[in-house]
């Protein structure tokens, strides 16, 4: 009502309890605003503040939930990527083992052929 006025001025015009909320801070003789109107305004303000608080809280929860989903998704992708690398490594090892076995069989056959020729 008087944003730049000091406490003394506000107290003079609005009453000694002007700082209190709702009906407690209203002096109808000075404000000419009925207590029921002051109470309605106070309840409406509290409800609006509650809605704002809930909206902010919901947005924060959604942000946290989104971050969690992104983290889970990233972890799953890393696990899949790691599994693919592991599979590729196993296939490479398996290929090397097969090549080694094949080479060993050829080497064994050559040794047997050489041994047969010597005997």
Of 15-19, 41-45, 111-115, which range is least confident?
A: 111-115
**Residue 13: what pLDDT?**
75
CB neighbour list of residue 42: distance below 8 Å, 6 or more residues apart: 21, 22, 23
Evaluate if residue 74 carries a pLDDT over 80. no
The residue length of the chain stands at 119
The predicted pLDDT at position 84 comes to 67
pLDDT of 17 reads: 79
Higher pLDDT, 37 or 105: 37
pLDDT band at 107 (very low <50, low <70, confident <90, very high): low
Burial class (CB in 10 A: 0-12, 13-18, 19+), 30: middle
Query: What CA–CA distances, in Å, run from 40 to 21, 31, 45, 47, 116?
Result: 12, 15, 9, 11, 112
Residue 25: predicted pLDDT? 85
Residue 99 has pLDDT above 60, yes or no: yes
């Amino acid at each position: 009502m008087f944003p730049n006025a000091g406490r003394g001025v506000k107290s003079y015009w609005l009453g000694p309890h002007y700082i209190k909320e709702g009906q407690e801070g209203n002096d109808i003789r000075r404000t000419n605003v009925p207590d029921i109107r002051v109470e309605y305004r106070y309840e409406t303000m509290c409800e609006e503040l509650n809605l704002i608080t809930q909206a902010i809280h919901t947005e924060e929860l959604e942000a946290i939930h989104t971050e969690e989903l992104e983290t889970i998704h990233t972890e799953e992708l890393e696990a899949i990527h790691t599994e693919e690398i592991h599979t590729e490594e196993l296939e490479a090892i398996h290929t090397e083992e097969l090549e080694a076995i094949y080479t060993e069989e050829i080497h064994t056959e050559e040794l047997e052929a050489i041994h047969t020729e010597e005997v």
